Amino acid sequence: MKFFVDSADLEQITDLNNIGLVDGVTTNPSIIAKSGRDFKDVVAAICALVEGPVSAEVTAVEADKMVNEGRELCKIAENICIKLPLTLDGLKACSVLSREGASTNMTLCFSPNQALLAAKCGATFVSPFIGRLDDISLDGLELIADICTIYDNYGFDTEVLAASIRNVNHVKECALAGADVMTAPPGVIRQLAAHPLTDKGLTAFLEDWKGTGQSIL
């Protein structure tokens, strides 16, 4: 499972990258707004930080304008991935940009049928939003499982990029379902390592070691 960081916080991305937990980065207009930085500047900085794909979202809603914005964003760096909304215009832009060799990420996916369309339009990634479905008492993880089944049935190349991940259980369930990628905020990624019994066991080990009076170095 590839880990993408869902953030534009360069320090947080760097810290996780130094651990070896960053295979890519995803952003969206809300994340960019939260960063308080110039869109192209912060995306360029992220692209220089990580080797993997960096998703940057178009803001036009008409296909031809999305294509123009996508071509402009592709100039930023080799590892740019163009994020497009799962609308008919977004799908049309995806078909054009994918045929031109651009990496594409169809976002705001909330149904298996939308994911089916993304695959048929040659999307590199599809981003089903788990948390936002859970927020309205629907089953976001069921969507991930359904898309994985459909993609496996037909051997689609499009990768399932589980998004809108809010907690460590989402990550576990996405891994069990076979999602290719998960993108999560830095805090959720860090939380994956946490377990009280690990802390308790380490404390006990170190206490016992201290009693030996020995040192390794």
Which residues would be at the binding site for ligand G3P (CB under 6 A)?
6, 26, 28, 127, 129, 131-132, 163-164, 183
For 126, residues 6+ apart whose C-beta sits below 8 A from its C-beta are 86, 105, 106, 109, 114, 115, 118, 119, 147, 158, 159, 160, 161
Among the listed residues 182, 147, 177, 144, the one whose alpha carbon sits nearest the alpha carbon of residue 161: 182
CB of 55 to ligand G3P, least distance (A): 7
CB of 210 to ligand G3P, least distance (A): 43
**Tokens 């994985």, residue?**
148
Q: How far is CA 158 from CA 53, 62, 72, in A?
A: 14, 23, 23
With beta carbons less than 8 A apart as the criterion, state whether 159 and 180 touch.
yes
Q: Distance between alpha carbon 32 and the CA centroid of its chain, in Å?
A: 15
Nearer to ligand G3P, 98 or 127 (CB): 127
Q: What amino acid positions are annotated as catalytic residues?
A: 83
Please, which residue, 93 or 106, has the CB nearer to ligand G3P? Answer: 106
